[in-house]
Structure 1
Amino acid sequence: MMNVVLLEPEMPSNTGNIGRTCVATQTRLHLIEPLGFKLNEKALKRAGLDYWDKLDVTVYSDYQDFLERNPDALGRMYFATTKAHKVYSDMKYETDCYLMFGKESAGIPEEILVENEDHCVRIPMWGDIRSLNLSNSVSIVLYEALRQHGFEEMELMGQLHQLHWKNK
């Protein structure tokens, strides 16, 4: 099972969208405080639709609390940042790795990135765009990690229902 880690997320709508993506991919969501919203906020639930109650989510008091409660994350955590030298699609992700994303206004603190430089990844962007939306970034990196493992246990085939139109 994959893990998405949000470090101090600020916008409930982004976190709600990410929660819905986590449910759709059977991914755990880890939220590291402080949060810029309350977990019972309407905007969070609206973005997560009726999936929020199906979400495997854990909240941590700070980054150290997260590390202490997830010792298996060490060495298997990838940090999404615009400051990385590696592109997210060039990384080889473990099936149960941790994908960390920072808060919308500032990203992941530089001291964390420096300590983990070999596991920092970036999403390529054109021009002087500062960054992508957080929920979009999570989707891009998470789906690449899942793709590398053949979308294990995920529904790969849809079904079209043939429609019959009557001539008027």
Structure 2
Amino acid sequence: MINIILYQPEINGNTANIIRTCSSGQAKLHIIKPVAFDLHPHWLKRNAAHHFLSEIQHEIHNDYQSFFNKYGTKNIYFITRYGLNSYCDIKFAKELNENDEIWIMFGTESTGIPKKIMQTNIENCLRIPMDANCRSLNLANSVAIVLYEILRQNNFKNLSKFEVQKGKDFILK
């Protein structure tokens, strides 16, 4: 199981897109409060289409300490612009085979993951390579990039590799 962790998200549109991305990639979503918006489906509906929070595997954690008390022993990777290694350097297929789970945390849109958390997990802080003049990438895009790298390394296990709604040969008709 791939676990995507959002640390105190601030923008409902990003979270809605991440919900849809988790749904398409069969990932479980963890949201660490406080959240800067209402998690009610009405506020997420427009951006997430029919993929509401209630339709995916997810957990809402009251704060980081609650999350840490439950999952602090897991091997969590932290996506941050301060990471010294690239997310591409990790052999996620091996990780998934050995542990049956992968944990990836993404920080809040404005400030990222708190420095104190990163300092105690520096070896697991990973970066998405980008132009040196760029400060950061959009949170929803970052989740999609990393999640789909994990899925790619695992040969998109359990995911459809062709169009199922209109048929595999739709483009040929």
1:111 aligns with 2:116: yes
Q: Structure 2 CA distance, aligned partners of 1:106 and 1:41?
A: 26
Aligned to 1:166: none
**1:78 aligned counterpart, secondary structure:** strand
For 1:84-111, what per-residue CA distance to the aligned partner results, in whole angstroms no more than 9, with x for missing partners?
1101111122221111000000000111
**Runs of 4+ in structure 1 over 4 Å off:** none
* CA apart distance, 1:44: 1.8
Deviates further, 47-56 or 115-124: 47-56
How do residues 5-154 of structure 1 correspond to structure 2 at under 5 angstroms? Answer: 5-40=5-40, 42-52=42-52, 53-71=54-72, 74-93=73-92, 94-95=95-96, 96-154=101-159
For 1:45-73, what per-residue CA distance to the aligned partner results, in whole angstroms no more than 9, with x for missing partners?
211110113211211111110122225xx
Give the AA of the match of 1:14. N
**1:64 aligned counterpart, secondary structure:** helix
TM-score, length basis structure 1: 0.90
Q: Structure 1 CA distance, aligned partners of 2:78 and 2:169?
A: 38
Q: Structure 2 CA distance, aligned partners of 1:145 and 1:120?
A: 16
For 1:119-165, what per-residue CA distance to the aligned partner results, in whole angstroms no more than 9, with x for missing partners?
111111113111000000000011111111111111123323234xx
Query: 2:74 touches 2:103 (CA, 8 Å); kept in 1?
Result: no
Aligned to 1:160: 169
Q: Structure 2 CA distance, aligned partners of 1:127 and 1:43?
A: 35
What is the number of equivalent residue pairs in this alignment? 161
Give the AA of the match of 1:160. D
Larger Rg: 1
TM-score, length basis structure 2: 0.87
Query: 2:13 touches 2:44 (CA, 8 Å); kept in 1?
Result: yes
Unpaired segments ≥5 residues, structure 1: 164-168
Alpha-carbon RMSD: 1.4
